Amino acid sequence: MAEMGFDVVGVDTDPAKVQALSEGHVPFFEPGLPGLIAEHVASGRLRFTTDLAEATAFADVHFICVGTPQQRGSNAANLDYVQAATRQIAASLTHDGLIVGKSTVPVGTGARLRAIVEAASPAHLTAELIWNPEFLREGKAVADTLTPDRIVLGGVTPRSEATMRELYARPIASGTPVVVCDLPTAELVKVSANAFLATKISFINAIAEVCELAGADVTVLADALGHDVRIGRQFLNAGLGFGGGCLPKDIRALMHRASELGAVRAASLLQQVDEINMAQRQRVIDMAIGACGGSVLNRRIGVLGAAFKPLTDDVRDSPALNVAAALHLRGAQVVVYDPEASGTAQRMFPTLTYADSVDEAMTGSDAVLLLTEWTEFQDSDPVALRALTRRPVLIDARNCVDAAAWRDAGWSVSGLGTTPAPTVFASGASYEASAADLLLAVR
């Protein structure tokens, strides 16, 4: 918003985070964001504080961007932070204000928050609450903010709609469409979008199993499907499945809310999407165990990737870390490398071993698992890496490397939804083949 020309104050309850942001430091990895924050903190257009009353007195539009994590022991969203922020903003108003919800919430939340605003705001002031869901992708959030693919405004009046169109004048002028709707529809847009994307991923992963059994290649199949404009190629990459702080949480919250509303078929569909996704993790664990002859005990496993996807250091519900931790619990010596997420991963799973490079993660490995599709991994030299391993076995759980090139370099390569070609290990290579190894090489 500062880049769009507005004066902005960010509020957080964590003094350390506010101090870091005030100095131009970003507490997470997001390409392009550090430069923007440093630039606008220096210009004075952007500042940060822990004083909500100060920020509320300063601003005309108040965005609520707090988290809605899952409740403990339930798939339902925890709305405590959203409700507290709404109540505090309303109570702190010193002049008429527009409160804009951006957090991902269950449908029906906005109506309850409007009651909170009415009860908490000063009687002589006008406080309006609307919903403007965010559609930011981690790793591409800056571009998604400055050039969004759509702007959704829910529950607006003519006055609040005019204000929001003024705020978003720059992207609107460049052609971004604006969807004006009621409050419940706006609340459903984000979770429905995430549920649909999750369904695409689980669909192609279900078809991947068919491909394996039929001897087909799911990657080529997805390319063919993607040429259909009604389907599109995005989110049709078969593999380890989705994770992160949005898709798993959002489909479970929508499933819970659908059950509350009596939408049984929607809840059942989302249940299947979730189960297919989680089963992919076990599939990769089983592949790793098979590649090591039936047990990973005391086997060294190199894991490439910790973040739930590339271009982020987010490891929330990361399939990669889930697989790595599961193999560690089975007695494997797991060595993890990620270009950006090693620090956040180490804080969440300190018992794993972390490497500083691809080479270090692969050295002496009995099997290598590629679990996050960073470009660095895809561009690695299979010939040079083969010499570092004890056994040149690659499980490409993201189907992202050139499998033929790796096989030509002497690797046994397997993926999800593809049928690996027989591997012939180079003569004279320092490789001790067991019966299980030979079965793996020719399956």
Beta-bridge partners for 370: 304, 396
DSSP state of 175: T
From CA 247, how far away is CA 414, in angstroms rounded? 27
Catalytic residue positions, numbered: 246
Tokens of 211: 């491909």
Contact between 141 and 130 under an 8 Å Cβ cutoff? The reply is: no
Beta-bridge partners for 395: 369, 414
Contact between 68 and 103 under an 8 Å Cβ cutoff? The reply is: yes
Helix or strand (DSSP H, E) at 17: helix 15-22
E-assigned strands of 23-118? 46-49, 61-64, 97-101
Query: Nearest CA to 409 among 431, 383, 384, 428?
Result: 383
Phi, psi values for residue 301, rounded to 5°: -115, 120
From CA 417, how far away is CA 239, in angstroms rounded? 8
CB-count exposure of residue 37 (10 Å: 0-12, 13-18, 19+): buried
From CA 128, how far away is CA 126, in angstroms rounded? 7
Conformation bin of residue 365: beta by default, left when phi > 0, alpha when psi is -120 to 50: beta
CA distance readout (Å), 150 to 109, 134, 136, 189: 22, 10, 11, 11
Q: How far apart are the first and last CA of the chain?
A: 55
